[in-house]
Amino acid sequence: MKIAFELNGKARSLEIEPRETLTEVLRARCRLTGVKLSCEAQVCGSCTVLVEGLPVSSCTYLAYEIRDKRVTTIEGLADGAGHLHPLQQAFLDNFAFQCGFCTPGMILAAKSLLDQNVHASDEEILAYMSGNLCRCTGYLGILKAIRQASVELQRQSQGKGRNRESKREGANDTSNE
Amino acid sequence: MSDLNKSVVKNFAVVNHSVPRADGVAKVTGSATYASDITLERMAWAKLLRSPFAHAKILSIDVSEAKRQPGVVDVLTGNDLGTLHPYYGHAVKDHPLLAIGKVRFVGEPLAAVIGEDELSAQEALEKIKVAYQELTPVLDIKSALAPGAVLVHGMDYIGGAFRGFDDFPGGTKNICQAVHVEWGDVDAAFASAAHIAEGEYYFPMVYAYAMEPYVAVADYDPKGQLTVYSSAQHPFMVRHDLTEVFDLPLNSVRVIVPYVGGGYGSKSYTKIEPLTAACSWKTSRPVKLQLSVEEAFLTTRSDDARVNIRTAVDASGKLIAKQATIHLDTGAYAENSPMVCRKAANRIVGPYRFPNVRIDCLAIYTNTVPASSYRGLGAAQITFPVESQMDELAHKIGCDPQEFRLRNLAHSGESIHPGLRPIDADVPGDIRIAGETLRSNGPLAPKHGRSVCCSCSDAGAHPVTLAMVQVYADGSVSVLSGSTEIGQGSHTVLAQIAAEEMGVPLEKVRLVGSDTGVTLFERSTGASRTTTLMGRAVMEACREAIAQCKSMAAELLSVPASEFTEGRGGIRYGKDWLSWPEIIERYFQMEGCGIIGRAYLRRAGVFKAVPVFWEIGVAGVEIVLDEETGKISLHTLVTVGDVGLAIHPAMTEGQDLGAATMGLGIGLFEELIYEGQQLMNGTLLEYRVPRFSDLARRIELKLVENRDGVGPYGAKGGGEGSVNPIGACLANALYQAAGVRIRSLPLTPERVWKALQEKKAQASSAQRKSSGAPKIRAQTRAYKTRVPKT
Ligand code: FES
Ligand code: FES
């Protein structure tokens, strides 16, 4: 069957088998090997990608489900100019990985969390991220990275907010939440 | 030689700083390549048929129908291996590429289908017809050792690449390896003892769960060249096994290991590489064999251990004797268990002064998944009993457990094993740091318990490490290293050392490896050796390159080298400063040129004494017990890394936390469970590993840097120590919190809850009898019922 979808910001259309999983399609057909396969049972989260901004375990998600949807993989996170996403930078700064096998899924899950709730508390981070396993780090570095990215994303959105505000002539700048 | 360590570089420019990881950007952008990401032209896929029986004769295998399936290239069975040497193993050559004649565990591969794609290969598996004759399986240590026991092997084997192991009496016994360690007069010491503690402990069968399952891609060229991409930790050991299986010279087998997605010991030595290569040999096509996690569960596990141990003290509370019997359930094939056996026997002594010691350790074949290295290499298995018993003994003689340890710990420079390197660490200091950190939590709240435990491992494995650096005229440097980057950060640490030595910015250094066709020999990546051995080799290789640059400069300037002064990155002669790259360019009068510096480390000089270093594990926990459910959660975790010098402090701490977290998994929930022949929980759905929500509320990662190791600048390895003490820490803290002593891991809520109920029942019956019931004995009886059946 033929499916059309948006992959990392670009329109794609592909011929796939109906039983193919999203992992298979992304890794084998699209050569996006940043999608990592581990448990194949929706436990570890290493295969996490974003569909319409929400995390899915691509190991058990049928590829035809993405038709007409937006798919984001780790390869699509840095902006076109090669600037890392604040989460990617925060993972580097906090040594939030060792072998790196869990990292793409970890970063995408965290992105989805912060996109929904940029102010996530530690409890919220721990609860949300519990579907992603890391066997190397013991998680602390990842928690710190998500905290750092949360601060950075808040700063960026405030900056943007302020820019918008200042463009509006005469608007009083009270937004500081 | 010791000048290489402490004196030369005092203020570090690059090492001892938490610089960005060399593999960092690749790993956060998804561009890092792992063996599972490798695809070759014309590549076919292999899938494996696995045995449904633990022990059975293979009467016949009919693959004719499978071969006719669409998309199937060929099928390989144990009958097709005739012209190869089909048994491999670095310790014991007992492991066939595919089962030959009989199967020895549920899950053992006995045929491989090679297909154009994964699905065709997978679907053809069920067309293979196998006739079995079931044999009595040997499913636990007890039946394996019983007189007249059925034999798992029933044939004798020869040793592999490792030297120093005895013959393997597989033809007559189920004993794969026996190790005996003894000094002093143990019987006399026990006879004179003031107090003795004695008990049986059980360390479970666990699975390392490296998130990347085993994978290999092999390309056998019939003209006699074999290339294998693999997730292996030790490419050179794999190469050795491949040369023997295929009868090829060393220069014709190339093993390439890209980034490895976690190993923790489980990817050490040879796994699926010979089989994948045989599939390529059979089909004349490149072949990829990618195992699933479920199959990885059936490939390697840890040795579980039943440990009987007795410890004696004199009237002053001084340790005077230790006697222990360790039985390791090694599963169907030896893999690295002979080494686990030897290490467990050495390491059970701990960092304590013992004048009298007698240890017997057996690695025992059973019809279960083969056991091999697991982080800690035998030390996790024995530290649980050792450090549990230290607490029991302290309580018995009415001494604070920390005080009891401090009284008996060996100090830096003291010998703990006759003939081995004296202790090169400050264990008492480490223990004090952990204890103080826990005490800073304030007075102990009800239902809380604390414990600090330690371990001491003869680490580093056999020191044969060769390294090479290339220093180029443009100021860039390549480090060619056979150590694999498995997440431990070797590419970063080795680049730091090269940048420090050559006086170039870190960004100018690039790591090349691991590729046995390009990099020099490194025995292995494990036993916490990389920083100490490869780090030292890289440092010496740089210094050799510098020595060459200096004689080039002397020639260029026509002055003896004594007339110029060496600085970091070059020389000063009069007013002129000449950097190493400038010297190289001027010497050759050629752009784009470079020179080689090399170092060969072997068991000589500072590496003459064994072990390479003593790896210390010191950790402390404070737990909170929920008495309603039996659930233990972690309030505080402290690790103390006694690493000589942390080349990269943040990554060193990360190793300690990672190892401690694995220890936490074993301590609280991880255990592979067999029911009869079947592994019952061999999937991630049923096998619980630590998650985000298990994170301790307070985590303190301490580093002790006394520069007392033989590695570069006094560094020593780390990364395994903290896995070892955690199980005992948890059991001791539970005892403090609730007065129950459990001698089997993991401390699952169910097991803890039962122990609490039994304690309550004991207490109330004791009250009814209104006598001071002998508490300790009652508990001991209770544990016995809780030891899981093997
Ligand atoms: S591989 Fe998909 S959740 Fe583990
Ligand atoms: S970094 Fe290795 S599994 Fe997370």
pLDDT of res. A164:
52
Residues of chain B neighbouring A106 (CB-CB closer than 8 A):
none
Same domain, B693 and B774: no
Give the pLDDT band (50/70/90) at residue B527: confident
**What's the pLDDT score for residue B771?**
53
* Dihedral pair phi/psi, residue A61, rounded to 5°: -105, 125
B646 lies in the same domain as B708: yes
B574, B499: one domain: yes
Here the tokens at position B214 are: 């085993």
- Is residue B705 very low, low, confident or very high in pLDDT (cuts 50, 70, 90)? very high
Task: Give the range of the structural domain holding residue B625, as residue numbers without chain letter.
Answer: 378-460+611-738
Bridge partner list, B363: B177, B328
Whether A75 has its CB under 8 Å from any CB of chain B: the answer is yes
Q: pLDDT averaged over chain B?
A: 94
Last residue in a domain, options B575, B602, B629: B602
Which chain B residues are Cβ-neighbours of A58 within 8 angstroms?
Answer: none
Which pair of structure tokens corresponds to residue B187? Answer: 């019987």
Residue B239 is encoded by which pair of tokens?
Answer: 């190469």
Residue B619 lies inside a defined structural domain of this protein: yes
B743 assigned to some structural domain = no
Does the residue B133 lie in any domain? no
Q: Are residues B435 and B539 in the same domain?
A: no
What is the rounded distance in angstroms from the CA atom of residue B592 to the CA atom of residue B598? 20
């402490």: which residue's tokens? B6
- What's the pLDDT at A93? 98
Q: Is residue B665 part of a domain?
A: yes
Domains, chain A: 1-76 (3.10.20.30), 78-177 (1.10.150.120)
Q: What pLDDT, in 10s, does the model give residues B663-695? A: 999 999 999 999 999 999 999 999 999 999 999
Tokens representing B681? Answer: 């929980």
pLDDT, position B2: 41
Same domain, B424 and B446: yes
> How close is the nearest chain B Cα to the Cα of A175, in Å?
33
B50 within domain boundaries: no
**B541 and B595, same structural domain?**
yes
CATH for B446: 3.30.365.10
State the average pLDDT over residues B375-402: 97
Q: B602, B623, B639: which is the final residue of a domain?
A: B602
Partner residue facing A103 (CB), from B28, B209, B692: B28
The answer, yes or no, to whether any atom of ligand 2 lies below 6 A from the CB of A99, is yes
- Return the DSSP state at A26: I
From the CA of B23, which ligand is nearest?
Answer: 2
- A–B CB contacts, 8 A cutoff, strictly below: 155
In order, the DSSP letters of B89-152 are -SSB--EESS--SEE-STT-EEEEEEESSHHHHHHHGGG-EEEEEE-----SHHHHHSTTPPPS
Instruction: For residue B155, tell me if it sits in a domain.
Output: no
The tally of domains found in chain B comes to 3
The two most distant CA atoms of chain A are separated, in Å, by: 58
Which residues of chain A are within 8 Å of residue B211 when distances are taken between CB atoms? 36, 38, 44, 46, 99, 101-102, 133-135
Residue B754 has pLDDT above 60, yes or no: yes
Instruction: Give which of B36, B43, B211, B648 to mutate to test A binding, by max A Cβ within 10 Å.
Output: B211
Q: Is residue B656 part of a domain?
A: yes
Residue B252 lies in a domain: no
Residue A173 pLDDT greater than 60, yes or no: no
Over residues B55-94, the pLDDT tens digits come to: 999 999 999 999 999 999 999 999 999 899 999 999 999 9
Residue type, A34: G
Q: Is B361 helix (H, G, I), strand (E, B) or coil?
A: strand
pLDDT given for residue B115 in this prediction: 98
Question: Is 70 exceeded by the pLDDT of residue B778?
Answer: no
* pLDDT tens for each residue of B482-513: 999 999 999 999 999 999 999 999 999 999 98
Say whether both B641 and B595 belong to one domain. no
Residues B399-424: pLDDT tens digits? 999 999 999 999 999 999 999 999 99
Shortest Cα distance from A65 to chain B (angstroms)? 21
Q: Is residue B7 scored above 60 in pLDDT?
A: no
Quick one: average pLDDT of B447-470? 96
- In short, whether B487's Cβ falls inside 6 Å of ligand 2 is yes
Residue A136 near ligand 2, beta carbon < 6 Å? yes
Q: If you measure from the C-alpha of residue B684 to the centroid of ligand 1, how many angstroms do you get, rounded to a whole number? A: 10
User: What is the rounded average pLDDT of the residues B592-600?
Assistant: 97
**Do B661 and B627 belong to one domain?**
yes
B615 shares a domain with B576? no
Q: What percent of chain B has pLDDT over 90?
A: 91
Indicate if B591 and B703 belong to the same structural domain.
Answer: no
Nearest residue to B314 (alpha-carbon basis) of B157, B189, B407, B472: B189
Ligand 2 center–CA B222 separation, angstroms: 38
Considering the domain architecture, whether residues B584 and B639 belong to the same structural domain is answered as no
pLDDT (mean) for B223-233: 96
Of the three residues B568, B583, B602, the one that is the final residue of a domain is B602
Residue B785 banded pLDDT, cuts 50, 70, 90: very low
Q: How many residues does chain B have?
A: 790
If phi > 0 it is left, if psi is from -120 to 50 it is alpha, else beta; for residue B2 that is alpha
Domain identity same for B700 and B723: yes
What confidence score (pLDDT) does residue B597 get?
Answer: 98
Share of chain A above pLDDT 70, in %: 90
In angstroms, the CA B182 to CA B360 distance is 9
Q: Is the pLDDT of residue B9 over 70?
A: no
Give the Cβ contact number of residue B141 at 10 Å: 21
pTM of the predicted model over 0.90: yes
The more confidently predicted of residues B348 and B160 is B348
B241 touches B255 (CB < 8 A): no
In angstroms, the CA B217 to CA B279 distance is: 10
Q: Which is higher by pLDDT, B25 or B774?
A: B25
pLDDT per residue over B687-699, tens digit each? Answer: 999 999 999 999 9
- What spacing in Å lies between the alpha carbon of A35 and ligand 1's midpoint? 10
Read off the amino acid at residue B306. R
- Greater confidence, A75 or B784? A75
